[in-house]
Structure 1
Amino acid sequence: MTVDQLRTAVSGPVVAPGDSEWDAARRFHTGVGAPVVIVRASSVDDVRAALRIAVSDREDVMIRSGGHSAWGAVPGGVTIDISALNSIRVDGDLVHVGGGATWGAIATELATHGLGLSSGDTASVGVGGLTLGGGIGLMVRAWGLAADQLVGAQLVTADGDVLEVSPRSHPDLFWALRGGGGNFGVVTRFDFRAHALPAVAFAHLGIDGDARPVLRALRDLLADAPRELTATFSDVPAMDPNMPAGATIAAVWAGPDEAGLRAALAPLVALDGVHEIEAAVRPYRQILLEVPEADPDVPMPGFVGGNTLLDQLDDDAIERLVAFRQARPASVVLLRSLGGAYADVAQDDSPFPAREATWFAMAGAFDVPGMLDDTSRADAEAAWAAIEERGSGCYGNFTPSTDPSWVARMFSAETLARLARIKREWDPGNVFCRNHNVVPAEA
């Protein structure tokens, strides 16, 4: 493959090693990549042309929008950066979003129309990766996954063809896009059904002392709470610059009903050791996190742990999660409530696992040099495995590993087989393999 071919075929910038822009272009949000070449697509036609050349030269392809994926660090291949395809157009409650848009920009634009979508937690995360992986957002109980709000998409296939995909047009492919990852093509436009959202009520609670009784109370509260309420528990060390250290609960009410939020949280606030840090009505955009880009001179630490979807947050699961954090100063635990609209979607209606789960759980120790040795690393792996075995599948978007074995943990055998059959139809050469890869089924 020649850079000259790409520069002739596409209208957007093509950046290669040796170019003055190379070092800046190969940086992505969470690291520094080393692809063969980077194509900064300025149009759908640029995506098509770049794909055809990459396929002709038998190059793997990685699609970059927000740039939060760990796959950006895998060397080689052609990176097609679609961040310039970031248009946002609102037509009633139908929102057409370019595949390179970020959730912060989407929230900002939708606010001018009194609308909202349940998205990721971070403003700079791209719409593409989050949606294709499912998308457990801050209002998942109110409106389901980001993928549950999807009603259509424009997709460029490995052959360079442009498809309009919906429940009526290529329904199997549409099913695969709602949680099957970026295995099936480049989504250059997402069509979402938005919801009325003038603002959100948000509360932040601090926890002093033992988190166990608070988590039990939070679990019981969410068992029959209004679906407008989604709650997130986190316990993080001081080393994380993006969140205050210690144990906290963030609660989001899908709407400006601060009184309703306070009433729902009253049993928690009444507990010993729980205090209110803040409670207010805000634009949705203001509660999205602002996460700084990775410093290329400071490598990201490893992560020993994982995530899972729990049918029930029982006392034993709470004990194991709290104990995991207490035993490891440089570790993190996160829980997010599910149920509500998330559970309204039948299991067979999307590839996303565990629709009966009521909680998403994540725990991991940061593998900082000098803090973990082989024994403590193995101990953390065993402690996490004991938690994961209680769950039903994992959430790929929160899996920083590029180990291909994770795919079998993300989907049931039946779902993975169906995805593999669809993959065989639309990408038999596995061009789109820089992801949690679904290998095409054998013919």
Structure 2
Amino acid sequence: MGRHSRRGDAPRSAEDTVGATGAGAPPAEAGSGRRRRSSERPGQVRGGHPEQPEWDRPGPERYGVQHGPRIPGPRREFVEAFEAPAFEAPASEASSAGGPVPRSGEAGPVLTVPKPDPARRQEPAGRPIGSPGGPDDPQDSESGEGGKGGKGRTFTGIAAAAVITVLAIVVAGQVADGGAGRDDARASGALKRGSGAGPASRGDARTAPGKASAAPATYEQKMAKLYPLDPKLAASGAFAVVPGSDKAPGKGHKYTYRVDIEKGMALDGALFAEAVQKTLNDKRSWAHNGDMTFARISTGHPDFVMTLASPVTTAKWCAKSGLDTLDENVSCDSAATDRVMINAYRWARGSSTFGDAKIFAYRQMLINHETGHRLGHNHVTCRTPGALAPVMQQQTKSLDIGGIKCRANPWVYPTA
């Protein structure tokens, strides 16, 4: 805010008069602590604050200061403590003041308050210079009954200087700490966004952009897949009915069947049941040309039971019909029972004659071959080298019978 700008001699405090008595200056009242100024001094500037005309009114009442003739003026050392500028002034003003203005601190930038020109003072509307209560009112002094305005302006300037000084210190501290604080806040925000803790944030459960969730595998995909299974597996020996039914889709003689799966195997019974229904009713199968049709049931008395069983259980049921399947781990139609036995190992792993790439076709061959036995058909071998093997040939064992090598074939009527 700068020091007071005075046109005349500055009033002297009690301390000043002690050293000036030799010059004939009258001493001030001892211990009064007041600054006295004659209201008749020419060139007087009201309140010593020409740079603060905007604080003239409503005066000290704004800050709750009670004024009157009995209120003592501020002590000089107190006034000068606040008169020393807390902010760095421009270079031209600092030079006129007699030297550089001390900084408020080294922690942050120093704010500057330019020193207004007393000649360009502005007054509130309706109070021209020279009017009563205006800037040149002779009653506006620090002494006498008319000095209440000057005292009010003095206290107002002191209060404003204190407020600005405190704000400067606070701002300097915030500037010093704000940079690191903002960096920490930004880093913290980035971690929170990265961790996904907020409601708008990304969590580990979210699907990545452009990556759709995996669709369920189709029937064709499942049938073309190999499944792990021990070739010597002996499961529980108990069977479970695969629930559900499928109507016979074609014409001709209708055969009914049920689908059972041995308990204790990690195989899909529903997939096995779907494969049986679709394979037997395919036009290349036994249902060719409307000769017959097949319907799956889960209750009542079927014509036969398509059974998916472990290798050991399959061998037991085949042995009931005088068939040995353990030697080459194959399937059979247990004609002495109502079960057509499909060896789970062959269903899961296939055979070398078809290879892994043709596991889908191999499974179709198993169903057609063993059902053919149930329908009364015996084994047939290939008679033409390079031709498709008959479906009733034991293709799991070999495709080369008697020196005639044929190609793998799952269908009764492959060219239909």
Normalized against structure 1, the TM-score is what? 0.19
Structure number with higher relative contact order (C-alpha < 8 Å, ≥ 6 residues apart) = 1
Q: Which has the larger radius of gyration?
A: 2
Q: Greater strand percent: which structure? A: 1
Normalized against structure 2, the TM-score is what? 0.20
